[in-house]
Every structure is written in C-alpha cells, then in structure tokens.
C-alpha cells in the first residue's frame, strides 16, 4: 500500500488533528515523506486542514484503495484516476487476459456511456466501475445481472446511510425522483460455441457531485450534496459484497419492492408507436408486464424499448 494511502487511513480514523511527528513515528518514515504524502492526497481531491503545532486533519473527500478492496472482496481490482470508460477497460482486460472476476474502477470517465450509446456524465467525485465475469453459458441461462446489481446498490445505500433509493425499470437508480445512477450490462458471445463468454456489468453513481450540465441539472442529483457520512470505498465494497453473497431470489425481491413503475401508469415507444398502460409485474428475467388501456398485455424486454414516462 502506498504511503499516502496508509496516511489517509490514519487520518480518516482520527477525528482530531494528527501531528506529522506522530504519523512519521507510526509509519517509520521521515517528516518530509509525510508532507509529500499529504500533498499527494490533496492533489487527489482530499481536503486536509493543517495547523501549526497541531498537525493534519481530514475535513472532506476520500480516495479509493484497490488493495483493500481486493482483500475485502477476494477478487482482482484495477483502479485508475481517469480512463475512457470502465467498460472499455474491462474489454481491454479480455485482451490482456486479466484475472476474473475483475473489477475496474475510475475516479473519472472521459467518455462514459449508458444504454443506446448515450453519454454518461462522469466527473470527479462519482463512482464508476465495471465487473467482468466469465459465465460461459448459453444466453438463455444468463442471470439477470442488471436487476441483481441494481438491487445490491439500493440495498447497500440503505444499509450504510439509511437513505432510501428506488429503481426505474430497467437500469436506473433514483433518489427523490431524480437519477443518481445508471447500469450498463454487456455480453460477449462466442460464435463458435454460442456461449456467453464474458459479461461486463457497469455502474455509474453520482456520489458527491454537486454541479451538473444544464441539460440534466433538473433530472440528476447525487447521493450527497455535502459532507458524505460514508466513503466511496465503503459503498463500493458493500455493493459487491451484497452482489456476490446475497441469494438471487432475495435480490430479485428487492428489485420489485423498490420499483418506481409497478402499479403505475406508463407510456412507452415500441417500433415507432406509443403505448400506454399499467405496469403490473416484473418477471425474474427482468421483463416488464404492462396491461394496456385496451386490455391487451405486453411484455417489455430490456434493450427493446425505453419508458418515456410514468406516474
């Protein structure tokens, strides 16, 4: 673990000031090394107050420590301060023959993408990550990964913060009727075997973002607008722990319980035609069953349509 990461862990556990001398003695390093590590943390966006004769005190901000996540989750973790997108990094991991399962994390995405190749605003301060799995099963046997990670996310947020979020079918996380996160799940299939060889589950969360572009400022919000009570590391670890360890049936129940659209009127577009009806059910495969105004029932599959409104 880097010196800056070790010092960060000391500071985050200490409510009062911690002197440079105490830090140096605990880590068996020089005061100069402590000062350089503090500067490195500040450059990473961590706010550290320094006071003469008192030392250093962490006031806001956090960092992600991949080694700690690897120990907590028992999987490989790659972390970068910035990248094109974590989905792209996961795909490169296939070429590089990275260990699997493998989690790719970044502080910032230059070209974050959502469904239908839409841009996903990914500034510093958010959580951007993609998990690569190798299921090697026929497509019809693939687990409903989008539903599972959405459920693990809202459950983790609730457990750690007491904040209740909701899921808009099929892949958006909402808080106070505004979007705070989105999920993008991609499958790679072998032409020779017909099996899904790789599954990449991507998620982007607005953790403590406070400024949004005008185009989305009325539609998007963050989990925190100021003074987070947890770190991004806490939330990342809890999300994937729940994803790996919670029975599938329990996560599917959470998904249905936290749905924004069930029993509500929805309108949607399919094949350039608009429909309206009541969302009646979400199947275990993630299909949305809608009873139309004319009495007909439609089964909506993720990837084929996008809900245009719900009330």
Q: Enumerate the known binding-site residues for biotin.
A: 109, 179
Place of tokens 């069930």: 262
Put residue 223 in one of left, alpha, beta given phi > 0 → left and psi -120 to 50 → alpha: alpha
Helices within 14-135 (DSSP H only): 20-27, 31-43, 66-73, 86-95
Widest pairwise Cα distance in the chain: 76
Q: Give the residue ranges of the annotated binding site.
A: 109, 179
H/E run at residue 288 = strand 288-292
57, two tokens: 């005190």
Task: Kindly give the pairing relationship between strand 102-106 and strand 76-80.
Answer: parallel
Specify whether the CB–CB gap between 86 and 129 falls below 8 A: yes
Specify whether the CB–CB gap between 8 and 46 falls below 8 A: yes
């Amino acid at each position: 673990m880097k010196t800056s990461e070790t010092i960060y862990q000391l500071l985050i556990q200490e409510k009062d000031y911690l002197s440079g001398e105490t830090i140096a003695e605990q880590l068996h390093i020089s005061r100069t090394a402590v000062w350089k590590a503090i500067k490195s943390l500040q450059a990473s966006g961590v706010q550290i107050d320094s006071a003469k004769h008192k030392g250093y005190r962490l006031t806001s901000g956090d960092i992600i420590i991949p080694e700690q996540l690897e120990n907590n989750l028992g999987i490989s973790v790659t972390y970068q301060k910035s990248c094109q997108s974590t989905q792209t990094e996961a795909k490169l991991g296939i070429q590089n023959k990275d260990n699997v399962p493998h989690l790719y994390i970044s502080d910032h995405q230059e070209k974050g993408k959502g469904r239908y190749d839409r841009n996903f605003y990914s500034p510093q301060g958010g959580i951007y990550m993609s998990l690569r799995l190798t299921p090697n099963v026929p497509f019809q046997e693939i687990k409903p990964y989008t539903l599972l990670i959405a459920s693990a996310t809202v459950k983790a947020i609730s457990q750690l913060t007491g904040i209740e979020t909701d899921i808009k079918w099929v892949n958006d996380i909402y808080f106070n009727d505004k979007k705070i996160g989105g999920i993008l799940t991609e499958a790679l299939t072998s032409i020779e075997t017909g099996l899904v060889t790789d599954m990449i589950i991507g998620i982007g969360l607005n953790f403590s973002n406070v400024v949004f572009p005008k185009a989305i400022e009325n539609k998007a919000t963050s989990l925190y607008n100021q003074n987070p009570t947890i770190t991004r590391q806490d939330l990342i670890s809890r999300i994937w722990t729940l994803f790996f360890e919670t029975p599938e049936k329990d996560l599917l129940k959470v998904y249905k319980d936290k749905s924004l659209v069930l029993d509500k009127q929805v309108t949607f577009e399919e094949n350039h035609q608009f429909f309206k009806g009541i969302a009646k059910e979400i199947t275990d495969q993630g299909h949305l069953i809608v009873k139309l105004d004319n009495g007909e029932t439609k089964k909506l599959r993720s990837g084929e349509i996008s809900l245009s409104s719900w009330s």
